[in-house]
Structure 1
């Protein structure tokens, strides 16, 4: 029994240490949610997440789905905020020359999918559909990096860094979009309280207070204030993260790194999978496979599959030609194309924005899920296939590149 337990523990540790693990888990969760939502357990699945709770400490959060999307997802956005701060202060986004290409690519990779989406739904006579323009804008870091992780050393490290950086910039853009375009009915008093709590947290940082519990308590207070302010509660997670001290102690550690390392596994293997299970289950009854061709899901899928790769490839090509920034090192255009396609995996952030875009229209939220899942699946399979069969830069060409500037392959 002990040897069996050791084997199981070793297998689990290897899985969770694997770069692809979180992405594989999300795929499994999405499939499971779809199966349950279209099984004899569909009624129980819906009641579990949408049924009114017998008791809740916060009246606004009266079902499990709201607690996950407005509460637990604040942890996800807190971790996103920590990653953004670290990358901007001392990572891939800290060097202006290194971040130029990912920022340009991410901006185009958000704008073009929105244009594609709006083009598909144009002329439908349903103005409420336009609220979904941002759904295909963001890239799911875990899912995309997970698919890339399955390819091992077939993908050069420069493309892994490029994909990660584009996804982080996407997250910054998505957070800004949620704060600006999906905020309704602002309540001034709670907004002032939110700003005061945020000011206190900034003050703690300035006065070099490194007590984790102080930031944890104030983060909860900030979340509650933002929840009642009209701004989406998850924005509190990002704002709180930006106040966490990053200064190193005598051991070369920091409070930000401790928070990030402590929360990252919970985020990857509990928060996001639970969110995925609660949000990815689309009841196909009344929609059917033909529902994929309805304007909303088709527009979202087209934005993810077509808009993302067109926007990112155009940005890289233009930056290279205009000498604004070189393309990623040691990567062929085929490999870059495959990476751009993987950026069309929206999943977590796209599902989240889809739920915000259509309040009061549950059937549109279901259709949006269909578009996100379909577009993300196509992007994942197509991106994997391209990268799997794309030829890399020959070794002798790599050696030559050390002695001369990189030029575009003919």
Structure 2
């Protein structure tokens, strides 16, 4: 007689599944950022500053960092590890394995990074604030977790192909942002430490391919790679990307799933539930009260430059590039996606948040003239872009769709709708 296990999933399983949902990561980011911003503008803001500036870590290893710095350099490396896993999966078994299929979102991502940078440079030069030019890359980034969360909440009923298009575009965006951080935001490189880090990554790549890749071996190797990368002068989050990228993206040793899939399931709950919210909490805490008041911060040229880049630059870059490519070349949008869908996609890519905040901190260190203005601009641009994305998603969902949205001459077949229950482990 066959028996079935009818027991309810345990609390830990339910919590993990909840954290993995597309909607959860965005909600946690918003709540954490709101707490940080509100606390930094209350009568108890000195306590927030003291907490952010609390130094922990061994001085002998040059790891005596403030809690805010640990969040940016340490916890965010965990998020970038999941980014590396996603990149590896997409290149080997996902949407980036075929250049023909991925060409349109790749080009859209490039256009969506060039136009915000142009707007940023144009605004700061027009206002004569050339000392702020170092922040040109701030509005080029997209927060993949936040953007997908907005799509999951407000894009119900639209085809799932739209989610895959956004993920592909955002993954390419993340890859380009990683390259920008490594190339343009590294002041000096210490070759010996960089070599140690790369050697540790190579050791990680070897161990992670063995039949039994033990966590108690992998984690110490990963910590060495991270610490050495930090000491090399290259931003430590790059180590996270490299470690994720060397994980096998195809099933090995008779396993049912690729290890990239298994590791995303294990690491993404911690990344979405702890690493990203803690980083958002410390990065969003801009004090607007006191001093010269909020108008002094909001009146900085970088605020208009970053906000305009995120809201206008991303939209024009993504929509304009895609329209040109699909009209002037044989390339077409993926099945079930039309040009009208690119307006909400363009606004979704304007949700810079996590990576934009990171680049803002690299561009303008704490205490610099543009530091607070850049961070508040990222928050403001993200809020505006997310709001416009939500409105345009509902508008698009309310309109009838043709049988051939991408105008390739064939009826659409990939029309399964977004339900809001999608999660990271499904990708």
TM-score (ref. length: structure 2):
0.86
Kindly indicate whether residue 288 of structure 2 is the aligned counterpart of residue 284 of structure 1. yes
Structure-2 separation of matches of 1:229 and 1:337: 41
Per-residue displacement from partner, 1:98-129 (whole Å, max 9, x unpaired)?
21111000001011100000000004444331
Alignment length, in residue pairs?
A: 401
Is contact 1:20-1:147 (8 Å) kept? yes
Is contact 2:62-2:231 (8 Å) kept? no
Kindly indicate whether residue 242 of structure 2 is the aligned counterpart of residue 239 of structure 1. yes
Picking from 384, 388, 392, the partner of 1:382 is 388
Cα separation, partners in 2 of 1:54 and 1:27, compared to 1, 3 Å? closer
Unaligned runs of 5+ in 1: 1-5
Picking from 174, 182, 190, the partner of 1:187 is 190
Cα separation, partners in 2 of 1:240 and 1:54, compared to 1, 3 Å? closer
Kindly indicate whether residue 334 of structure 2 is the aligned counterpart of residue 334 of structure 1. no
Residue equivalent to 1:80? 83
Per-residue displacement from partner, 1:124-151 (whole Å, max 9, x unpaired)?
4443311100000111111111111112
Residue equivalent to 1:352? 358
Q: Which deviates further from its counterpart, 66-75 or 299-308?
A: 66-75
Cα separation, partners in 2 of 1:112 and 1:271, compared to 1, 3 Å? same
Kindly indicate whether residue 168 of structure 2 is the aligned counterpart of residue 165 of structure 1. yes
Structure-2 separation of matches of 1:61 and 1:256: 32
Is contact 2:140-2:352 (8 Å) kept? yes
Kindly indicate whether residue 110 of structure 2 is the aligned counterpart of residue 107 of structure 1. yes
Residue equivalent to 1:371? 377
Cα separation, partners in 2 of 1:255 and 1:403, compared to 1, 3 Å? closer
Residue equivalent to 1:262? 266
Is contact 2:193-2:228 (8 Å) kept? yes
Unaligned runs of 5+ in 2: 1-8, 413-427
Structure-2 separation of matches of 1:14 and 1:201: 28
Is contact 2:351-2:385 (8 Å) kept? yes
1:395-406 → structure 2 map (5 Å cutoff): 397-398=402-403, 404-405=409-410
Cα separation, partners in 2 of 1:137 and 1:154, compared to 1, 3 Å? same
1:20-59 → structure 2 map (5 Å cutoff): 20-53=23-56, 58-59=61-62
Cα separation, partners in 2 of 1:68 and 1:14, compared to 1, 3 Å? closer
Structure-2 separation of matches of 1:174 and 1:401: 29
Structure-2 separation of matches of 1:204 and 1:14: 28
Structure-2 separation of matches of 1:360 and 1:370: 13
Q: Which deviates further from its counterpart, 21-30 or 198-207?
A: 198-207
Q: Which deviates further from its counterpart, 237-246 or 273-282?
A: 237-246
Q: Report the aligned-residue RMSD.
A: 2.8
Residue equivalent to 1:65? 68
Is contact 1:305-1:375 (8 Å) kept? yes
Residue equivalent to 2:317? 311
Is contact 1:282-1:369 (8 Å) kept? yes
